[in-house]
Chains A and B, each alone.
Chain A
Amino acid sequence: MAGIRDKMNQKSSTMGSVQSRSIFCFFFLILILHLSAILLFTRGFLLTRTELPYYSNCSDVSQFPCLPLHINKSSSSSKTPNRTNQEEVVPHNVNRNPGCWTRPAVDRLVIIVLDALRFDFVAPSTFFEEKKPWMDKLRVLQKLASEEGLSARIFKAIADPPTTSLQRLKGLTTGGLPTFIDVGNSFGAPAIVEDNLIYQLAQNGKRVVMMGDDTWFQLFPQHFNKSYPYPSFNVKDLDTVDDGCIKHLFPSLYEDDWDVLVAHFLGVDHAGHIFGVNSIPMIEKLEQYNAMLEKVVEVLQSQSQPGGLHENTLLLVMGDHGQTLNGDHGGGGAEEIETAIFAMSLKEPPSSFSAGYESSSCHLDLDGKTMCISTIQQLDFAATVSALIGVPFPFGSIGRVSPYLYSLVGGTWDLESSHRSTGQDQSDMEEWMKNYANVLCINSWQIKRYVDLYSASSVIGFSNEDLLRVRDMYAKASENWMHVGSRNASLPDLEKQIHLYSSFMASIAELARSKWTEFNLTLMGVGFAVMMVSLFVHFFSIWRLEKLSGVYFGSHDNSGISVGFICACSMIFIRACSLLSNSYILEEGKVACFLAATLGVINLRYSLMKRKMLQEAVVFVLLIFIIRLSIELGLSKEAGGSIVMDLFPSWMTRDNDMASLVVHMVELLPILALLVLAMLLYKAIIRSACHWILKCLTSSTMTCYLLIALYWGQESKLFSIPYFLKGKNSYIIPRIVYAVGFAQVLSLFTIFKLLGEKKTQKWEEKVVALLSALSSTIIILSGKQGTLVALVSIVGGWCIMRCQSLLSDSRLSTSPIVQWNLLAVCLFFCTGHWCAFDGLRYGAAFTGFDEFILTRQAILLTIETFGFSHILPIFGLPFLIVNKKLSSPDKQRKGSFFIQLSQAYLINGLITATTVTITILCVSIHRRHLMVWGLFAPKFVFEVAGLVLTDVLTCFALFYYRSSS
């Protein structure tokens, strides 16, 4: 017996270093495999639309199959300069540009963009089932729209997902469908190189003034004559952008040095992000906008007399996208894509044309007048505005000139000069229809040109039969045009012609929407295959380690698979498979809680059977219950803040002591929890007999906790703080916390390298030291809920650790790791996240900072997002190997600890990798699904980011714990 022991010792000591190196190799191999699989798959899946480097030109007129526009003026049509020297364009004296593709219907254009404008902010509340507090706040628009004799109307505008500001601005100006990959660029906002409306405006001598959201400036860095950009990424700032806009807007309205004015207000978007739609700041913002718009209309109307500055001006008030009641946007939900456009032409219409090709919904408004609202696509915006102002349509635009907007402004047309003689409505109508048909003819020609060039120049364009179908439609339409356009056509003929063109363009738009993303199936397949290989490597490594650990613990007789193991595996399997359905992805937090609770109940059953750890098992189930409640409550972001917001007015008015007490309790609770955390840490330090450096490092976390408590106390004005910490200086506290945390982690990683040579450290102390070092940063980023979640995760981890002893095996068992993993997933959702880009808590990235720097804010956002769900659980995983009785010599102990740890990390990684594999499968299956960009793709991105983070952190953790026992 002793001989065998001896032999084993020898074996293990020689194996020691070789082993750990080979284990590291496994982890690196897995990391590399994962990275390459993800890279390959993403290259195939998240491909962008090919942007064509072509531009529309005035000289294209010669190729039109349509009616010549204005024969007498065409000679004077401006020769467009070469686009290479675009800086020299913008001549300042061309005020009455005759237009080249279409005759300009308006001279000047005022575009006021209200970010995240919900449709029900604008439309009268009679259009909806019940009146909500935020409705009917923009009364001025409703009044104007229902007033007789004014050509002002409200439209419902449908945006295409992704409904983030950058994508929408790009879509609005290019008339195309920006794809998902641009979402990732939203932080960096790169300039648009494709042909677009602003480029065309600048190219054709229109002077553009921009004010507000600096995204415009980033998209079009050199197209504006004047610009007043304001930073847009500080979500907490409701007023800077709007005040800046207003400051420059009104003086500009009296100027004559611009043709197009763009003012982008951000307040509503930010108010939604921070407070939600049903909140006082939101209503205040809307009221502010109402006053602002009232004044704008007043100024415009005062100068709209013939010869005035705004004689022929069009005012557009529009949203770029909507938002949900929580203030989120990005996806394709009805609330997010429905926004509004208000259009008002300052010129009195001689007669109104009703272009009622599509049904519009009509209701009585608040004053009892009938108001009709029709729906237009945002896709059509670029083409319509180009046609109205008389510049070439952007090359890549696939939108159609909207009949509603076009007819609304039709009144400002030079009708009287051309056809005054007829004077009848009928002939006016006919003339207008002919004009519109001609515009559609140009429009169709332009779209056809784009589609042809696009299919010719991109590898996987539209499918052949689809192309044939639309070409056939186009041929039919243009053939009809040959007959209709040449002679004086009758109304039905024109109607038929318009219908033919419209259906051609509609089918193009449909085609583009369904097929825009070019998936590279080969790359996707290869990526998936590599992912499968990585799973095999995972299994193989687990099997190898199992054999290695057999050296230490002797052979295992009970290789039989236990019930707990089967349950744990099936939970993982169920969770992974649930990701195949969009409904389960939406409810993922609840699903994870359901499965975790199931495991908890099974644990409870075990503990009843073994008659021990009953308390822990019950606490665990209760804990899941608490997490579940907080997921349901916490779906409204910044839960604590909104509760206080709701209570605040009642407290102010009634001066109720109880209410103020509740407010104070809500404020005080996180601080108390923080003190509890500090106390726990203190106890842990006191009890352990570790090196004094370690003690110092750990106790500095307690200082951080106190600082955080001070910071929050000052934020909620619970107690007064020293003068020098107020205002701008309050940012010092978070920065100190970050710095201390960073220094702690850094020194932990280096110190053990120095100390580790002499004697190996107790791993418990190392885990506690690292976790505490990380926790302060994560807590301050997570906000006030962070402390409570930290307490919950400590209790949860403790329960799992204790319950583990129920499984008598001396080996590492899978079930606790699965519970650990599920708990981490629950915590992700519990901290108010969900797998969508609007689920990121951008506000958290600005804790302690005001200005936006990409790398810094991205790092903070990553820490905040994955803090409780990835960073802490992975570094805390060694707790799961605590209660193993290792009655073996020291050296062997050390080796066995490392092997068990690697095994635990492998199993944890395998669980994550399985989920990612199924997610990859899922997005491949659902790549043509309606919600692929709204739901599946964000889920994929989150899962992949989580996997990479898991792999990298695992490597760090192994490196950190490698010399412990």
Chain B
Amino acid sequence: MKLRRQLTSNYSASPWKVLITHLICGLGLSSAFWITHNLYNINLISEPTQTLQMIWVIGSPLVIIVYSNFRMNPEHNSYWKALAQGILGLIAGAVVNALGAIALGAPVGTKYIMRTLHWSLMMSTFTFTPAACVFGSSWSDWLRIFAHTKSSGSVDYMLCLPAHGAIIGAWFGAWPMPLDWERTWQEWPICVTYGAMAGYFVGMLASFIVTTIVGGEQHVKGE
């Protein structure tokens, strides 16, 4: 137990750090929207492919840079290694997300290939990339976060809650798709993206709140 405490203490984060991390990611997301809207005059509904591309192109470097600071065992792992792990995680996560989406009913076809590609890269930015930066190839930690959902520290919350939020949000976001309202935003992957981002923001908020509460308690206990 003592050993564990020591290990985790290395990569724990104070609530303020969590807040700043989330703020950076959130600001990255909003700036991507701002840029597409104001500089390119497009939005998610009119040009989903380009907008999604812009989101992950701006979002993923930010996420990788920020989360690499929380890497496990900073003594052994260099910052650059964490960056490389993040980039690998981005690609691998995109594959997993794309497969998941297709299994759940995302349309396949030449028209949708690019959309699915960019969407899965964006989802990967939300879900697996941060974890890849932090954990690298530590399978047990991955399992702990994504299969058991057992979090043992503020960084765990920071990784786990937004990722789950994004996935659950995307799942709910798919609901309006079959409705016969005949709106453009019902097309794949527009409403799913909205759902995912909403879930992501809720997850970030929740992780901040949880780290504030739990972190405070731990702090008290530690004292």
Contacts and interface: CB of A to CB of B under 8 A. Distances in A.
Q: Do A and B come from one complex?
A: yes
A594 B105 CA distance: 6
Contacts of B103: 597, 600-601, 621-622, 624-625, 628
B174 interface: yes
Interface stretch (A187-195, A577-585, A834-842, A891-899): A577-585
B104 interface: yes
A581 B105 CA distance: 19
Interface stretch (B18-26, B33-41, B58-66, B142-150): B142-150
Contact of B174 (A584, A594, A609, A628): A594
Given A593-B105, A597-B105, A587 B143 contact: no
Interface string A571-600: 000000000011110110011011001101
Contact of B108 (A606, A621, A629): A629
B185 interface: no
Contacts of A594: 104-105, 174
B29 to A, nearest CB: 25
Given A583-B178, A583-B180, A609 B143 contact: yes
B216 interface: no
A608 interface: yes
A462 B31 CA distance: 61
A332 to B, nearest CB: 14
B174 A625 contact: no
B179 interface: yes
A600 B105 CA distance: 13
Contacts of B194: none
A625 B100 CA distance: 10
B171 interface: yes
A625 B101 CA distance: 10
Given A609-B147, A609-B148, A590 B105 contact: yes
Nearest to A625: B103
Secondary structure at chain A's binding surface: helix, strand, loop or mixed? Answer: helix
B102 interface: yes
A608 B143 contact: yes
B178 A591 contact: yes
A722 B178 CA distance: 51
A586 B180 CA distance: 10
B101 to A, nearest CB: 10
B180 A582 contact: yes
B61 to A, nearest CB: 29
A434 to B, nearest CB: 47
Interface in A305-322: none
A587 B105 CA distance: 11
A499 B84 CA distance: 80
A735 interface: no
A884 interface: no
Contacts of A582: 180
Interface string B77-121: 000000000000000000000001011110010000000000000
Contacts of B148: 609
Contact of A587 (B100, B104, B108, B178): B178
A584 B178 CA distance: 6
From B100, B146, B147, residue with most partner A Cβ within 10 Å: B147
Nearest to B148: A609
B178 A628 contact: no
Given A608-B143, A622-B103, A598 B171 contact: yes
A265 B174 CA distance: 46
B172 to A, nearest CB: 11
From A581, A583, A586, A593, residue with most partner B Cβ within 10 Å: A583
Contact of B104 (A584, A597, A609): A597
A605 B178 contact: no
B107 to A, nearest CB: 8
A590 B178 contact: yes
A591 B175 CA distance: 9
A60 to B, nearest CB: 47
B146 A628 contact: no
A419 B116 CA distance: 75
A629 B107 CA distance: 9
A609 B144 CA distance: 8
Nearest to A563: B149
Interface in B159-209: 171, 174, 178-180
A605 B147 contact: yes
A608 B147 contact: yes
A807 to B, nearest CB: 15
A621 B104 CA distance: 9
B142 to A, nearest CB: 9
A629 B108 CA distance: 9
A610 B32 CA distance: 40
Contacts of B171: 598
Given A593-B105, A594-B174, A625-B102, A605 B179 contact: no
A601 B100 contact: yes
Contacts of A586: 178, 180
B175 to A, nearest CB: 9
Contacts of B102: 625
A594 B173 CA distance: 13
Contacts of A601: 100, 103-104
B47 to A, nearest CB: 25
A621 B174 CA distance: 18
B164 to A, nearest CB: 11
Contacts of A609: 143, 147-148
Interface in A458-515: none
From B104, B108, B146, B171, residue with most partner A Cβ within 10 Å: B104
A267 B171 CA distance: 46
A605 B179 CA distance: 30
Contacts of A597: 103-105
Contacts of B179: 581, 583-584
From B100, B105, B143, B179, residue with most partner A Cβ within 10 Å: B105
Interface in A158-209: none
Interface in A778-833: none
A171 to B, nearest CB: 27
A591 B171 CA distance: 12
B173 to A, nearest CB: 12
A585 to B, nearest CB: 9
Contacts of B105: 590, 593-594, 597, 628
Nearest to B178: A587
B152 to A, nearest CB: 16
Nearest to A610: B147
A826 B43 CA distance: 36
Interface in A617-637: 621-622, 624-625, 628-629
A601 B180 CA distance: 28
Contacts of B147: 605-606, 608-609
A621 B105 CA distance: 11
From A582, A600, A625, residue with most partner B Cβ within 10 Å: A625
A306 B146 CA distance: 90
A584 B174 CA distance: 12
A621 B108 CA distance: 16
Given A597-B104, A628-B105, 15 more contacts: A582-B180, A583-B179, A586-B178, A598-B104, A598-B171, A600-B103, A601-B103, A605-B147, A606-B147, A608-B143, A609-B143, A609-B148, A622-B103, A624-B103, A625-B102
10 contacts: A581-B179, A591-B178, A594-B105, A594-B174, A609-B143, A622-B103, A624-B103, A625-B102, A625-B103, A628-B103
Query: Which 4 A-B pairs have CB atoms at the shortest separation, nearest pair first?
Result: A587-B178, A609-B147, A608-B147, A583-B180
